[in-house]
Amino acid sequence: MFDAHCHLDFEAFDADRDAVLLDAQSVGMSGLIIAGYDRERRALARSLAERAGIWATAGLHPWALLGKDDAWLERELEALHGDLLAGGFCGLGELGLDFYRATEPADRAFQQKAFVGQLAIARELDLPLVIHAVKCHNSLYEILRQEGVPKSGGMMHGYSGSARQIGNFLMLNLDISIGTPATYPDAHKLRDVILATPGDRLLVETDAPDRAPHPDRHLRNTPALLALVIAAVAKARGCKPDEIARQCERNTRRRFQLGDERLSVA
């Protein structure tokens, strides 16, 4: 199993991070990617990525933009560019738009400005994207189409758009990542997405510590629970969980140009 998107650097794991990794390894986790949130967490993510089978990306999450201004954004984009040039990261993200959180026109415009700025960095350095998109898929697609994506493409993390929209993102060289909502009993729309996504463009993730799978949605999510996502995807596609796990791992390693190094926790 390979968790294409989690936040192992978040404070929710400060007390037992090594135990969480051991648990993931014990259930067959072979690798994971820590998705960047902001500059404050970046150093820890890079440090964790020095361990076998752990990789990290760096970016500015749209939630981290709320309440900020242009001067702050200029500084943060400059710092992000420098950190990515220094190495230690396999992609740029988490970046994107979230029109559920940003309801005011000014906040949405600021998210778009930050998104375009990060896209420029990704294209310059040819780093795959990790894209966050909530209630904004049409707007986000138009920006991607106009601005362009890096040759290395990227992923739509925790995809929540429609099956009908998938083709647009696939044509932009973006894979579709399925998260824990696939385990929810009412996930009919997401099951259509799972069926509509080509097998070689499918990824799986936990987004831990957020969004724990059914039936324990009130608890902390962890990478070890990826097995439940894989089982839900396999059921929807009518195949065995092992097949999904292997295919999605191959897809993730190919997309982010990762080696065959496996998670190893001392």
41's tokens: 């967490």
Alpha helices (H) in the chain, listed in sequence order: 17-26, 39-48, 70-86, 105-125, 137-147, 166-171, 188-196, 226-237, 241-255
Q: What is the tens place of the pLDDT at every residue in 26-45?
A: 999 999 999 999 999 999 99
Q: What band does 265 get if pLDDT is binned at 50, 70 and 90?
A: confident
pLDDT category, 218, cuts 50, 70, 90? confident
Judge if pTM exceeds 0.85.
yes
CA distance 207 to 3: 8
**Neighbour-count burial for 213-229, b at 16+ CB within 10 Å, e otherwise:** beeeeeeebbbbbbbbb
Instruction: List, for residues 85-110, the tens digit of each pLDDT value.
Output: 999 999 999 999 999 989 999 999 99
User: Residue 19: pLDDT above 80?
Assistant: yes
% of the chain beyond a pLDDT of 90? 98
Which of 80, 79, 73 minimizes the C-alpha distance to 57? 80
- Domains delineated in the chain: 2-255 (3.20.20.140)
- Per-residue pLDDT tens for 105-158? 999 999 999 999 999 999 999 999 999 999 999 999 999 999 999 999 999 999
Count of C-beta atoms within a 10 Å radius of residue 179: 26
pLDDT at 217 (0 to 100): 87
Asked if pLDDT for residue 266 goes beyond 90, the answer is no
| Residue given tokens 């929710």 in the structure block | 12
Q: What is the mean pLDDT of residues 48-69?
A: 96
